[in-house]
């Protein structure tokens, strides 16, 4: 079987699982009694919040770094690794690099919350705050690659990153092989694309539903335009879903276009309600990007009655002031 143009196949996802074994957690898939009753469906929660770095991003970062060492040797990373990030990917790269004794420099826009900056610095990585968007931060990454010979670990647009995130899909299919739907936050497309590639290869009839911000949804706007486009990045409770997809996107745009069945955009109010609901009823602290699946169910009236549905709770990197803002928005 030929390799797809975007470079992500079921075989590459299985290869990723082999590489990252022992570095990441095989996260639980738990049934939510409250949500199952509320939506007349079986609602399952995939707890990527239990990763060592608090988010799914560790899977992709660990896979890419391991793949580079596997192919080129450890000396290939002697100058260090670098990336731009809205927080979770930077923390994942810093964590994976620290385990291997590789220097890491993480470039962040000024929109990234202080708690995520501190978490990255605590892992020993150098942090650079540059510009007001992820695209601007990426300009600094490009300079580090050109001038210092550092190795880029992209946040999403690489088949090795997407394949690493796709290991979530393998776990979903093993724990719930009869899933009808997976609802996933959509930003750069590595998470949804990787999960979708694995799930669709094993269970083609499963529905992959993407959820984006109401404003600044770069991947969705690009899909509508039929090509990658730039959008203005805006502050959001779901800050991890911000940022562009790159005008030269070579992997995730095609991957998402291939595997995503439907899509919702959710408001800040819907995200706030979902964050508070998950905290109050599930006793789980999640960031806004992790709550958008529930926001889509609650605000868009997706008809999931009788279905077996997995919501990917992608991370727990929420600042207390952000949670307080969400609670104030819903009056609780």
- Select which of 12, 85, 133, 314 is catalytic: 314
- Select which of 46, 57, 116, 200 is catalytic: 57
Mean pLDDT score, 177-195 = 97
**Confidence band (pLDDT; 50, 70, 90) for 88?**
confident
Tokens for 262, please give them.
């439907």
pLDDT tens profile 24-61: 999 999 999 999 999 999 999 999 999 999 999 999 99
What's the pLDDT score for residue 29? 98
How far is residue 232's CA from residue 326's CA, in Å, rounded to a whole number?
Answer: 23
Nearest to 209 by CA among 296, 324, 326: 296
**Cβ atoms of 79 and 149 closer than 8 Å:** yes
Asked about 116 being catalytic, the answer comes back as: no
**Cβ atoms of 47 and 314 closer than 8 Å:** no
**Cβ atoms of 112 and 239 closer than 8 Å:** yes
How far is residue 163's CA from residue 255's CA, in Å, rounded to a whole number?
Answer: 11
How far is residue 9's CA from residue 163's CA, in Å, rounded to a whole number?
Answer: 8
What's the pLDDT score for residue 275? 97
Got the DSSP string for 244-306? ---TT--SHHHHHHHH--EEEEE-HHHHHHHHHHHHHHH-----GGGSHHHHHHHHH----TT
**Confidence band (pLDDT; 50, 70, 90) for 332?**
confident
Q: Where are the domains of the chain?
A: 10-55+159-330, 57-152
Mean of pLDDT over the chain: 94
**Confidence band (pLDDT; 50, 70, 90) for 13?**
very high
pTM: 0.93
The yes-or-no answer to whether 10-55+159-330 and 57-152 have a common fold is yes
Percent of the chain with pLDDT strictly greater than 90 = 81
For the domain spanning 57-152, the CATH number is 3.40.50.1100
Question: Is 50 exceeded by the pLDDT of residue 1?
Answer: no
**Cβ atoms of 194 and 162 closer than 8 Å:** yes
Tokens for 110, please give them.
């000024």
Question: Is 90 exceeded by the pLDDT of residue 65?
Answer: yes
β-pair type (308-313, 181-185): parallel
pLDDT tens profile 279-307: 999 999 999 999 999 999 999 878 999 99
What's the pLDDT score for residue 136? 87
Buried b (16+ CB within 10 A) or exposed e, 83-95: bbbbbbbbbbbbb
The percent of the chain in helix, strand and coil, each rounded to the nearest 5, is 50, 15, 35
Asked about 314 being catalytic, the answer comes back as: yes
Tokens for 331, please give them.
């009056």
In this structure, the number of other CB atoms found within 10 A of the CB of residue 78 comes to: 12
Domain 10-55+159-330 has CATH 1.10.1060.10: no
pLDDT tens profile 226-267: 999 999 888 899 988 988 898 999 999 999 999 999 999 999
What's the pLDDT score for residue 2? 58
Mean pLDDT score, 80-92 = 89
pLDDT tens profile 258-273: 999 999 999 999 999 9
């Amino acid at each position: 079987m030929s390799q797809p143009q975007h470079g992500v196949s079921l075989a590459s996802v299985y290869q990723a699982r082999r590489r990252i074994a022992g570095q990441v957690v095989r996260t639980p898939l738990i049934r939510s009694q409250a949500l199952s009753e509320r939506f007349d469906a079986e609602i399952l929660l995939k707890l990527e919040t239990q990763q060592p770095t608090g988010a799914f991003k560790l899977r992709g970062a660990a896979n890419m770094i391991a793949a580079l060492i596997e192919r080129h040797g450890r000396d290939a990373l002697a100058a260090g690794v670098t990336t731009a990030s809205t927080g979770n990917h930077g923390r994942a790269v810093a964590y994976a690099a620290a385990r291997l004794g590789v220097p890491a420099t993480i470039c962040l826009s000024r929109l990234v919350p202080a708690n995520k900056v501190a978490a990255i610095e605590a892992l020993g990585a150098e942090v650079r705050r540059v510009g007001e968007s992820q695209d601007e931060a990426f300009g600094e990454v490009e300079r580090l690659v050109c001038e210092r010979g550092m190795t880029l670990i992209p946040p999403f647009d690489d088949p090795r990153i997407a394949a690493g995130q796709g290991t979530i899909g393998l776990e979903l299919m093993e724990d719930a092989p009869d899933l009808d739907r997976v609802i996933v936050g959509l930003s750069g497309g590595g998470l949804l694309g990787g999960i979708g590639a694995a799930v669709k290869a094993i269970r083609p009839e499963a529905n992959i539903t993407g959820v984006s911000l109401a404003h600044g949804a770069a991947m969705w706007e690009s899909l509508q335009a039929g090509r990658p486009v730039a959008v203005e990045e805006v502050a959001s409770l779901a800050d991890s879903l911000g940022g562009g997809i790159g005008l030269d996107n070579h992997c995730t745009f095609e991957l998402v276009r291939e595997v995503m069945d439907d899509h919702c955009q959710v408001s800040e109010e819907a995200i706030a309600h979902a964050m508070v609901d998950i905290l109050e009823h599930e006793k789980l602290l999640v960031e806004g990007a992790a709550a958008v699946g529930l926001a889509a169910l609650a605000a868009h009236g997706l008809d999931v009655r009788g279905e077996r549905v997995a919501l990917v709770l992608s991370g727990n990197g929420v600042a207390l002031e952000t949670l307080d803002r969400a609670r104030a928005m819903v009056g609780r």
